[in-house]
Amino acid sequence: MRKLCLISACLLALAAAPYSSAQPGALPSRFNTWSCRPSADNAGVAEPANFANLKKEAGLTTTELCDYLSGDGKIHVNLDRYRDPSSAYEIYTALLRPDMQPSTLNRTSAVDGEKLYVLLGSFILQVSPTPAISTDDLVTLVNTVAAHSDQTPLPPIRTYLPQGFTDGTQKYALGPNGFRAALQALRQDEYSVLADEAGWNSGAEVMLSEYHRGKDGAVLLLIEYPTPQLAEQHLHHLEQKLSDSAKQAGTTIERKASLLSLVLRPSSAAYGASLRGALNYGTQVTWNEPSHTLTDPPLLSTVAKIIIATMVFMVVAVVLGVAFGGVRVLAKTFFPGKFFDRPEQMDVLQLGLSSKRIDSRDFY
């Protein structure tokens, strides 16, 4: 009976394993003077409408909730983990509003006086109310959570936007829900019909932002694809989805390599062209390799080197000639017939014109 109970317990544990979090908690139990009290209530964290569908599309994996207490102070912390930094960036831009201000914690953080949003790799950290915690304590909390996050770089398409956009209007989307939510936030709902032809299964990424300059204004929409061929294919599908009113308002689609750009309802054609011309996007089909510049040396230097080399060669030839010939002459002078031209090793051809036989020793 005990074995049966043990087997049943093991099976239940294995069945529950897929539903348990495989990731350890990233929120610390304590930091500085603050202590965590786990919370199941997400009160105080306001989210846009239909945000649950957007989180599902972005790939929300785990959520941690904690109420931190320090003396009379209390803050609520919400930490969402997504499948990668790009998905987290989609949610972070969906939370941004023009009335928010950037914080000093990092470049991807914003605060509205009561709530703080911080993008940390694949994490989105939300803290409220911010007046209840000091900046130093916030820095400690952010650094602790960042140590557990995925530090893969954010999508490059965000850097293609020209300078001068209205802060809080930049929106990034990886799917139709994020695209529609971005258009709704920028009051461009009529372009939601493009969501079905954007080519999300082809790896499309979307970036939007609102621009104003004096009396001019427009919303810039960028769609990037993995290859220029996919961009050209979806360009035609998107053009067919554009309404006549949008085309009459000056909305056109242009392709540059793998990037499609749309200026939604520009105040003037010239302003729309200026936005396109300011895109920080370019293609590079070659790359620079390490190289060096060849320069001819001065003529006098070349002649001097030739003369010096010739003189060195002549001196070496004289020294070697004297050494070889001098040794032979000295040996024949002081030791005749001992080392060179020994009589017993010499043969002389004689014509026989005289009867006297030639003696090789007579040569010395």
**In the β-sheet with 123-128, what is the strand arrangement from edge to edge?**
30-31, 34-38, 60-70, 73-82, 123-128, 116-120, 109-111, 101-102
Asked if the model's pLDDT at residue 168 lies above 80, the reply is yes
Query: 233-282 pLDDT, tens per residue?
Result: 999 999 988 888 888 888 889 999 999 999 998 999 899 999 998 998 87
Residue with tokens 């914003």: 110
Residue with tokens 């000056």: 250
* Token reading at 360: 């090789």
Q: Which long-range contacts (CB under 8 A, 24 or more apart) does 209-213 make?
A: 209/161, 209/165, 209/166, 209/169, 209/170, 209/171, 210/165, 210/166, 210/169, 210/186, 211/162, 211/164, 211/165, 211/166, 211/275, 212/166, 213/164, 213/271
Pair 64, 27: CB distance under 8 Å: yes
Domains of the chain: 25-146 (no CATH), 156-277 (3.30.565)
* Token reading at 145: 């959570």
3-state secondary structure of 347: coil
- Band (183; pLDDT cuts 50, 70, 90): very high
Q: What is the pLDDT of residue 261?
A: 93
Q: How far apart are the first and last CA of the chain?
A: 125
Q: What is the pLDDT of residue 129?
A: 93
pTM recorded for the entire structure: 0.70
Query: 295-319 pLDDT, tens per residue?
Result: 778 888 889 999 999 999 999 999 8
Q: Render the burial of 2-18: b for 16+ CB within 10 Å, e for the rest.
A: eeeeeeeeeeeeeeeee
| Residue 343 preceded by cis peptide, ω within 30 | no
Q: What is the pLDDT of residue 306?
A: 93
How high does pLDDT run on average in the chain?
83
Query: 21-66 pLDDT, tens per residue?
Result: 334 578 999 999 999 998 776 654 556 667 888 999 999 999 999 9
Neighbours of 354 (CB within 10 A): 8
Q: CA angle at residue 53 from 55 to 264, to 5 degrees? A: 90
Asked if the model's pLDDT at residue 13 lies above 90, the reply is no
Pair 106, 154: CB distance under 8 Å: no
What type of residue is 67? D
Q: What is the pLDDT of residue 14?
A: 42
Query: 273-292 pLDDT, tens per residue?
Result: 999 989 988 765 555 666 66
